[in-house]
Amino acid sequence: MEEFSDIMPTPSENMLFGMGNPLLDISAVVDKDFLDKFGLKPNDQILAEDKHKALFEEIVKRNKVEYHAGGSTQNSVKIAQWMLQKPHKVATFFGCIGKDDFGKILKKKAEEAHVDAHYYEQTEEPTGTCAACITGDNRSLVANLAAANCYKKEKHLDLDSNWELVEKAKVYYIAGFFLTVSPESILKVAKHASENNKIFCMNLSAPFISQFFKEPLMKVMPYVDILFGNETEAATFAKELGFETDDIAVIAHKTQNLPKENAKRQRLVVFTQGKDDTVATVGDKVTMFPVLDIDQNDIVDTNGAGDAFVGGFLFALVQEQSLEECIRAGHYAANVIIRRVGCTFPEKPDFH
């Protein structure tokens, strides 16, 4: 990224490409008994197992349940598009949904957010959902991928009309969650970015990705120009890779120095830590960036905060702004999202 440029390039259509699991968030405030009943940690992201079937039936019966378009990558590109406002469809999104009502809602919401969503639609599985179990400023997310898990490279990504949209992009973002679905799709996009000196971004997304999907994660890592994650994910990643440290700055530095294909771009590592400083590699140094202050009482729920941070970051990145600006935009977006339910936002941003 250039340190300083007077002329901001105007983002063009399909400049930002995202691919991931499109999910409908089912969000409700629950209590500790509910978490205990289903063996959930207050602040976690997991994939649903058979024992969680009843959770989905129960959460929709809670009073004040809310439905919002979700899915980590989709949230991030949507926030980037919201921050940009115009032109529309700077952000492209690929993922798999079912031919059902929830799928229709996701299509409608993507359209309202002016994201150019191209879903692979199939009838084997229903549209995926994510139960967001909110307690205080914690959120425990249980994802039932269903249709999202059915994304097929050869049925969608490889089609000429779709691959053309990939080629149009300059910045790519895929959450680590998609490693459980289609690592071959991720690799195809990552290699394209690397070979064309474009920017490929990824997210550690959840502790379970580093723990159980380490092999596909490390296959993609050489192509990753910017890696995002939070403090818990960073610690788990470090443990899995045998870094033997829990110092987040050291973890960032060691992660930056992992093998990399495109030597023209030094890898950038950005770890958020909730209300604590965001940690980022700046050249060979590691720098701390304080987040915006917020009154505890103003936090409605933290679901989507990490996605929003990435979305704000990508908004500045597609305009080739400095790392400081990218992080500042990320902090702004996260600060907006935690004042609202789910990953939702007001009509217009107020970011200067």
* Whether the Cβ atoms of residue 278 and residue 327 lie closer than 8 Å to each other: yes
258 in the Ramachandran plot: left (φ > 0), alpha (ψ -120 to 50) or beta? beta
**Sign of the torsion angle spanned by Cα atoms 325, 231, 42, 144:** positive
Choosing from 25, 116, 225, 307, the catalytic residue is: 307
* Whether the Cβ atoms of residue 66 and residue 49 lie closer than 8 Å to each other: no
> Which residues, 6 or more positions from 174, have their beta carbon under 8 angstroms from its beta carbon?
18, 19, 20, 73, 186, 189, 190, 201, 202, 203
31 assigned to active site: no
Give the Cα separation of 134 and 149 in Å (integer).
Answer: 25
Angstrom CA distances, 155 to 17, 28, 55, 326, stand at 18, 35, 32, 35
Neighbouring C-beta atoms of residue 126, cutoff 10 Å: 16
Enumerate the active-site residues.
307
